[in-house]
Amino acid sequence: MRNMIINNEKCILCEKCIESCPFFAIQKNGDRLTIGEDCSACGQCREVCPAGAIKMGESKKEAVNKEEWKHILVYIEYRHEKVHPITYQLIGKASELAASSDDDVCGIVIGKNTALAKNQLKHYPLKKVFLYETEEHFKADLYEKLFSNCIDKMKPSVVLMGGTAEGRSLAPRAATAFRTGLTADCTELILRDNRELVQIRPAFGGNIMAQIVTPDTRPQFATVRYNVMKPIEPDCEHETEFIAEAVEGAYSKLTILEAVPRPERKGIAQQEILVVAGKGVKKKEDLAMLEELAVLLGGELASTRGVVEKGWVASDKQIGLSGQTVRPKLLIACGVSGSVQFMAGMSGADNIIAINTDADAKIFHIAHYPVCGDLYEIVPELIKGIKHSVRDGIHLA
Amino acid sequence: MLKIAVCVKQVPAYSEGLMDPETGVMIRAGLESVLNVYDLPAIETALRIKEEAGALVDVFTMGPAKASAVLKEAYAMGADRGYLVNDSCFSGADVLATSYTLMQAIQSTEDYHLILCGRQTTDGDTAQVSGAIAKWLDIPHVNWVTEILHVAHDSITVRQAMEEEIVTVKATYPCLLSVERSIFLPRLPSLKGKIAAKKKDINVLSLADMEDQEESHYGLTGSATKVEKIFPPAKTAQRDIIQKDSQEAANYILEVIKKVNK
């Protein structure tokens, strides 16, 4: 195996690497250790090796001249003459990153009537915003050509995009156009003095954090989910410069035949009260009990990824890094163990009640009201209690 | 005839790997591997198109030798040919190198009209590889596809769920679609299908089968991102756990709800 290399001369056979490997890729054969093809080169074995016997195979890739790539570019999603609210969160993070260097934060708007974006952006800390006037509807191939044109001209070191339906469709296409790296759904970003972007996200299914860098190529692409970063407030003193740009002959192989607005519905991200079903729920039918609790409280039922993967709940009800980020006033987690990827999506809730039979459940680390017990016993009692209170005229919903 | 390539992945059966935060030791569970659930509807979509319009359905998976199990599963459902993309130099790949390897495998096999991917995997969780494959092939792509509306000889019309709109979009071949789980309920393989799958061979594609045989374009060396380290998440101070009988626990929660709703 060429990715991680074990020097069996130095190896003291302590087997710490075997225990630490998230992929179970290291085997002991007699007095030698070998790394199998499940290796993902995460480097954990190298971290734990007390003998310094493990190293990573070196990359032979030709590095770009990183000095040429400066500044931060924020992709500003713009639909129906409205700037997507995630933009202000991305600008906030970008400004924070730029504060430690001389770099500027710039933006790019692609869409129709882009001039109308000016009023929505001019007081935010953006040095320049490039306006690419084109068709109203998002088409991944067309938008990528315009986006790449901007990146070519500006040569940003870092490109930040929202982890929205549009951002997640465009980001891999644009990153591939520059043969560079993309880290999806970052929960933390740090810019080193050498403009290397440290990208942190839960990985390997969710209970471990990975720290990722893009060492040799530029720009460094990262997407961030809605509500993960804090939005920045406008500064009335500041005036952004707007520059109209165009690309001759850019076209798409996609044709939009129709676009119908989705019916207005309150998603779980807009709810004040959420009841969350985790894998402690044994069968699909049992969700009815939690649904009843949610309805009684005037809220909605949401779930963890595991429950969605079972097909019991629609994917738009999923909380977590690969689902939605929620900040309700009250969240009742029922039978939820609390993976990192889940908690990344709900840790901003004002009040978290967690019901779990396992006293060691990770959810108890962030719950304001950790209750150790069986949801199958507690929830029916709770429903009864709420019904009594309502009968007694106590307003709960 | 329409030629369709479906990209699938074998993933750990349990999507939540656990690391002991004290010792950094992985908790050994979930060694079992399965076909990524989001890929089943992609296979189903290809088979439906085959039944409606006639098509060749090839399935590609990149991974270790044991990943051929997911190709057998695709065979049992009705796929025509399965390709295991496997070479020691392919491992350790990020989005860029994974998509490049799959593109090479696809391109070295046939001129496909349509490439289908599932929404995302349950382990990587990024939903980014499909768009990258499309860019490598320089073909249009549509994510979040919820419905196939019309399959023509030169194009396919689909419904795409964006955040605020449902869009009807026509894509000319060759193109790539990334389908949502709700698009079709995947069929269960019949016993006959399972028996037939056992007899069918798996084609293995290694570096020697690729158009580009430059090793450094693949795997870890072909990757643009590098994992510097992995670490358990920060532990926070924990509040006292309430352990009471169910009646009392329910009352306690009710009081909390009343307080919050004040």
User: Smallest Cβ distance to A373: which of B225, B240, B249?
Assistant: B249
What's the rounded mean pLDDT across residues B177-200? 93
Q: How far apart are CA A224 and CA A341, in angstroms?
A: 13
pLDDT digits (tens, 9 = 90+) for A213-252: 999 999 999 999 888 898 999 999 999 999 999 998 899 9
What's the rounded mean pLDDT across residues B212-239? 85
Q: List, in sequence order, every residue forming a beta bridge with B205; answer none if it has no partner.
A: B85
Q: Look at residues A107, A9, A115 and name the one whose alpha carbon lies nearest to residue A53.
A: A9
Q: How far apart are CA A78 and CA A70, in angstroms?
A: 25
Query: Does the distance separating the beta carbons of A3 and B91 come in below 8 Å?
Result: yes
| Class at the top of the CATH hierarchy for domain A268-391 | alpha beta
Q: Which amino acid appears at position B191 of this protein?
A: L
Query: Does the distance separating the beta carbons of A378 and B249 come in below 8 Å?
Result: yes
Q: Look at residues B223, B197, B225 and name the one whose alpha carbon lies nearest to residue B90.
A: B223
Q: How far apart are CA A81 and CA A133, in angstroms?
A: 12
* Residue B142, domain member (yes or no): yes
Is the minimum CB–CB distance between B29 and chain A shorter than 8 Å?
no
Interface confidence, given as ipTM, is 0.89
Q: Which residues contact A30 (CB under 8 A, 6 or more apart)?
A: none
Q: How many CB atoms lie within 10 A of CB A275?
A: 27
Query: Does the distance separating the beta carbons of B122 and A309 come in below 8 Å?
Result: yes
Chain A residue numbers with beta carbons less than 8 Å from the beta carbon of B251 are 381, 385
User: Cβ(A333)–Cβ(A278) under 8 Å?
Assistant: yes
The chain B residue lying nearest A364, using CA atoms, is B238
pLDDT at A2: 44
| Class at the top of the CATH hierarchy for domain A4-56 | alpha beta
User: Cβ(A106)–Cβ(A130) under 8 Å?
Assistant: yes
Structure tokens at A260: 């119908």
CATH ID of A66-245, from 3.40.50.720, 3.40.50.620, 3.40.190.10, 3.90.420.10: 3.40.50.620
* Residue B228, domain member (yes or no): no
Could you tell me the CA-to-CA distances from B111 to A131, B4, B130, B174, B248 in Å, in that order? 37, 9, 17, 8, 67
Chain A residue numbers with beta carbons less than 8 Å from the beta carbon of B174 are none
First to last CA, chain B: 66
pLDDT digits (tens, 9 = 90+) for B43-99: 999 999 999 999 999 999 999 999 999 999 999 999 999 999 999 999 889 999 999
User: Cβ(A180)–Cβ(A158) under 8 Å?
Assistant: no
CA distance B170 to chain A (A): 5
Is the minimum CB–CB distance between B213 and chain A shorter than 8 Å?
no
Sequence ranges of the domains in chain A: 4-56, 66-245, 268-391
pLDDT at B91: 86
Q: Is the pLDDT of residue A59 over 60?
A: no
User: Smallest Cβ distance to A206: which of B16, B144, B216?
Assistant: B16
Chain B residue numbers with beta carbons less than 8 Å from the beta carbon of A164 are 163
Q: Which residues contact A134 (CB under 8 A, 6 or more apart)?
A: A110, A111, A112, A142, A143, A146, A250
Q: Which residues contact A188 (CB under 8 A, 6 or more apart)?
A: A198, A199, A200
Percent of chain B at pLDDT exceeding 70: 92
Query: Does the distance separating the beta carbons of A47 and B229 come in below 8 Å?
Result: yes
CA angle A84, A88, A91 (to 5 degrees): 125
Q: How many domains does chain B have?
A: 1
Q: Among the listed ranges A302-316, B24-38, B83-97, B208-222, which one has the minimum average pLDDT value? A: B24-38
User: Smallest Cβ distance to A261: which of B164, B256, B258?
Assistant: B164
Query: Does the distance separating the beta carbons of B24 and A48 come in below 8 Å?
Result: yes
pLDDT at B25: 56
Angle between helix B129-137 and helix A165-177 axes, rounded to 10 deg: 40
CATH classification at residue B109: 3.40.50.620
Query: Does the distance separating the beta carbons of B132 and A175 come in below 8 Å?
Result: yes
* Residue B43, domain member (yes or no): yes
What's the rounded mean pLDDT across residues A82-96? 96
Model confidence, pTM: 0.82
Provide the 3-class DSSP secondary structure of residue A387: helix
CA distance B132 to chain A (A): 5
Most confident stretch, A306-310, B67-71, B246-250: B67-71
* Res. A323 pLDDT band, cuts 50 70 90: confident
User: Smallest Cβ distance to A37: which of B88, B127, B233?
Assistant: B88
HEC string for chain B:
CEEEEEEECEEECCCCCEECCCCCCEECCCCCEEECHHHHHHHHHHHHHHHHHCEEEEEEEECCHHHHHHHHHHHHHCCCEEEEECCHHHCCCCHHHHHHHHHHHHHCCCCCCEEEEECCCCCCCCCCHHHHHHHHHCCCEEEEEEEEEEECCCEEEEEEECCCEEEEEEEECCEEEEECHHHCCCCCCCHHHHHHHHHCCCEEECHHHCCCCCHHHCHHHHCCCEEEEEECCCCCCCCCCECCCHHHHHHHHHHHHHHHCC
* Residue B230, domain member (yes or no): no
Most confident stretch, A19-33, A60-74, A75-89: A75-89
Could you tell me the CA-to-CA distances from A263 to A36, A260, B161 in Å, in that order? 50, 9, 12
Q: How many CB atoms lie within 10 A of CB A242?
A: 18
Q: How far apart are CA B28 and CA B33, in angstroms?
A: 14
CA distance B198 to chain A (A): 24
Structural domain that includes position B26 = 2-222
* Residue B247, domain member (yes or no): no
Q: How far apart are CA A98 and CA B72, in angstroms?
A: 51
Could you tell me the CA-to-CA distances from A264 to A85, A273, A297, A314, B165 in Å, in that order? 17, 19, 22, 17, 10
CA distance B251 to chain A (A): 7
* Res. B28 pLDDT band, cuts 50 70 90: very low
Provide the 3-class DSSP secondary structure of residue A359: coil
* Residue B88, domain member (yes or no): yes
pLDDT at A263: 77
DSSP assignments along A288-317, one per residue: HHHHHHHHHTT-EEEE-HHHHHTTSS-GGG
User: Smallest Cβ distance to B18: which of A169, A207, A366?
Assistant: A207
Provide the 3-class DSSP secondary structure of residue A71: coil
pLDDT at B26: 54
User: Smallest Cβ distance to B157: which of A22, A257, A260?
Assistant: A257
pLDDT digits (tens, 9 = 90+) for A144-203: 999 999 999 999 999 999 999 999 999 999 999 999 999 999 999 999 999 999 999 987
Query: Does the distance separating the beta carbons of A205 and B220 come in below 8 Å?
Result: no
The chain A residue lying nearest B128, using CA atoms, is A172
User: Smallest Cβ distance to B260: which of A184, A322, A330?
Assistant: A330
Is the minimum CB–CB distance between B262 and chain A shorter than 8 Å?
no
Query: Does the distance separating the beta carbons of B163 and A60 come in below 8 Å?
Result: no
Q: Which amino acid appears at position B157 of this protein?
A: T
User: Cβ(A268)–Cβ(A319) under 8 Å?
Assistant: yes
Query: Does the distance separating the beta carbons of A256 and B131 come in below 8 Å?
Result: no
Q: How many CB atoms lie within 10 A of CB A326?
A: 23
Task: Tell me the CB-side half-sphere exposure of residue A345, using CA atoms within 13 A.
Answer: 26
Q: How far apart are CA B259 and CA B52, in angstroms?
A: 59
Distance of CA B120 to the CA centre of its chain: 5
Mutation site for A-interface testing, chosen from B100, B146, B227 by largest number of A Cβ within 10 Å:
B227
Chain A residue numbers with beta carbons less than 8 Å from the beta carbon of B28 are 24
Is the minimum CB–CB distance between B89 and chain A shorter than 8 Å?
yes
pLDDT at A1: 32
pLDDT digits (tens, 9 = 90+) for B116-175: 999 998 877 788 999 999 999 999 999 999 999 999 999 999 999 998 899 999 999 999
Residue numbers of B between 181 and 210 with CB closer than 8 Å to A: 181-182
Q: Look at residues B27, B233, B228 and name the one whose alpha carbon lies nearest to residue A20.
A: B27
Q: Is the pLDDT of residue B188 over 80?
A: yes
CA distance B195 to chain A (A): 27
Same fold, A4-56 and A268-391: no
Query: Does the distance separating the beta carbons of B232 and A208 come in below 8 Å?
Result: yes
